[in-house]
């Protein structure tokens, strides 16, 4: 791989099912021992169902293992699910939690190598080589997007331009002046960059940009067409979640009809979201991953809550790695606003902690290709009878507290008492007007 212009790994990416089965079985067995011996949470879970590590003999035994859910990470916040001593953990990332607590993930050096390899495979599958300039507009920091693709591009030997998100006119200037070939950002931001290019009077065809690698939020085939047109590129999907690694768990190839999963590191299953029973190939259900190649945080049968389908046929691109369909939605209430995960319960927590009534509605729109979140909150009778200035001050206070907790911009409108719709069943907390 060292002298290769890209990171295509035929030994794995075009391997026979038998070869993959052998690798996956060996890795699962090792992982199960690691969990049993080093993570008290898993030892307890296995003991509860009378499962011993030696009961797992091949990857086909995976269904004997218990599921892990996001709440388990919260209950073991921040580091109690780590299977290695602190000195072996070389990186921490995190994603938003429901009540302010983040979901914390950790990586050993080996984990970072494998994660970077997934991202290098993704950039390669999008046509990237070591000669390319890779412009990264995913956020850097605890979010896995920026640093994940950064190390993937470096592993490939490409030149990384670590721009991070924001300041779109400057992004366009850099795309132009540095001659970026591959843009990595959320699909909504790719569209926004496309609009800005147009506004700046630049013909996208004059830019050396060839590909956009977009993920971290749901997007449609129509958005793909728009991105391809407005940036004059091919747009590739990339999937991932911090609990499993970050970006690069799955990635589009030239066929652009489903994402190959790095199943040598992250073993996928699709289960019925209600019965949790496996469903046949091609059937949509909840995507579940087992981290068979991870040392620091080896999650067993992690329920992603993403609804997708997987298929095992060989792809037109030659890869045999299993393919997942674009996630169609979630089996929980998590919203993704500009790539940031937001739970309605986080909003409620902030509102209540500021002494407001629990009557609120979250409205999400897509304006000029960017997600905009507005939160309508009913005032109490006493606040309603206060001066306009007092109401505005309260709005500002709630707004900055929400922005601090959620990590994403929002507007807040205090509305008159008893004006938000009431429901006889579940309260309708979210109105998502985005066409996704």
User: Which residues of the chain form contacts with ligand DLL (CB under 6 A)?
Assistant: 95, 138, 143-145, 215-218, 237-242, 246-247, 304, 306, 326-327, 330, 336, 341
Task: Specify the residue, 144 or 181, whose C-beta has the smaller distance to ligand DLL.
Answer: 144
Task: Specify the residue, 180 or 325, whose C-beta has the smaller distance to ligand DLL.
Answer: 325
Q: How many CA atoms lie within 13 A of 156 on its CB side?
A: 32
**Least distance CB 332 / ligand DLL (angstroms):** 10
379 vs 399: CA distance, rounded Å: 14
Task: Specify the residue, 128 or 247, whose C-beta has the smaller distance to ligand DLL.
Answer: 247
**Least distance CB 381 / ligand DLL (angstroms):** 40
Task: Specify the residue, 307 or 391, whose C-beta has the smaller distance to ligand DLL.
Answer: 307
Q: How many CA atoms lie within 13 A of 405 on its CB side?
A: 23
Q: What is the dihedral of CA 426, 430, 432, 436, to 10 degrees?
A: -60
**Least distance CB 244 / ligand DLL (angstroms):** 8
Q: Strand order in 329-330's β-sheet?
A: 266-271, 285-291, 302-308, 329-330
**Least distance CB 208 / ligand DLL (angstroms):** 22
Q: Nearest-CB residue to ligand DLL? A: 215
Helices 40-48 and 17-38: crossing angle, nearest 10°? 100
Closest CA to 362 of 370, 371, 353: 371
**Least distance CB 261 / ligand DLL (angstroms):** 12
117 vs 113: CA distance, rounded Å: 6
DSSP-assigned letter for residue 253: -
Task: Specify the residue, 117 or 237, whose C-beta has the smaller distance to ligand DLL.
Answer: 237
Task: Specify the residue, 25 or 319, whose C-beta has the smaller distance to ligand DLL.
Answer: 319
A 10 A CB-CB count for 74 gives 16
Task: Specify the residue, 59 or 241, whose C-beta has the smaller distance to ligand DLL.
Answer: 241
242 vs 250: CA distance, rounded Å: 13
**Least distance CB 92 / ligand DLL (angstroms):** 14
**Least distance CB 127 / ligand DLL (angstroms):** 17
Q: Residue for token digits 């890795």?
A: 27
391 sits in which H/E element: helix 388-406
263 vs 279: CA distance, rounded Å: 18
């Amino acid at each position: 791989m060292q002298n290769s212009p890209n990171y295509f790994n035929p030994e794995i990416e075009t391997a026979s099912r038998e070869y993959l089965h052998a690798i996956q079985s060996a890795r699962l067995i090792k992982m199960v021992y690691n969990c049993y011996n080093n993570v008290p949470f898993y030892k307890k879970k296995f003991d509860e169902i009378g499962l011993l590590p030696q009961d797992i003999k091949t990857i086909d035994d995976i269904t004997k293992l218990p599921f892990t859910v996001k709440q388990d990470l919260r209950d073991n916040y921040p580091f109690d699910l780590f299977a290695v001593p602190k000195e072996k953990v070389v990186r921490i990332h995190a994603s938003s939690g429901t009540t302010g607590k983040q979901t914390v993930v950790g990586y050993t050096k080996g984990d970072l190598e494998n994660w970077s390899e997934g991202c290098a495979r993704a950039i390669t599958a999008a046509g990237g080589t070591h000669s390319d300039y890779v412009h990264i507009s995913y956020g850097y920091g605890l979010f896995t997007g920026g640093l994940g693709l950064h190390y993937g591009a470096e592993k490939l030997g490409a030149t990384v331009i670590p721009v991070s998100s924001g300041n779109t006119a400057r992004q366009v200037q850099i795309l132009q002046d540095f001659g970026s070939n591959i843009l990595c950002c959320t699909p909504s931001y790719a569209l926004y960059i496309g609009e800005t290019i147009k506004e700046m009077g630049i013909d996208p065809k004059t830019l050396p940009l060839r590909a956009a690698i977009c993920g971290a939020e749901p997007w449609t085939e129509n958005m793909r067409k728009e991105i391809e047109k407005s940036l004059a590129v091919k747009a590739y999907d990339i999937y991932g979640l911090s609990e499993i690694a970050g970006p690069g768990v799955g990635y589009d190839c030239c066929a652009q009809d489903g994402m190959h999963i790095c199943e040598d590191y992250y073993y996928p299953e699709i289960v019925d979201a209600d019965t949790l029973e496996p469903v046949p190939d091609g059937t949509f259900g909840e995507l579940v991953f087992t981290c068979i190649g991870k040392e620091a945080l080896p999650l067993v049968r992690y329920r992603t809550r993403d609804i997708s389908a997987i298929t095992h046929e060989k792809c037109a691109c030659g890869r045999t790695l299993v393919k997942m369909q674009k996630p169609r939605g979630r089996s929980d209430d998590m919203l993704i606003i500009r790539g940031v995960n937001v739970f309605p319960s986080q909003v409620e927590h902030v509102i209540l902690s500021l002494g407001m009534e629990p009557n609120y509605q979250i409205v999400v729109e897509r304006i000029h290709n960017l997600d905009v979140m507005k939160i309508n909150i009913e005032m109490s009778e006493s606040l309603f009878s206060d001066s306009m200035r007092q109401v505005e001050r309260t709005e500002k206070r709630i707004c900055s507290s929400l922005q601090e907790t959620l990590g994403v911009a929002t507007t807040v409108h205090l509305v008159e008492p008893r004006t938000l719709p009431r429901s006889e069943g579940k309260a309708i907390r979210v109105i998502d007007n985005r066409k996704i």
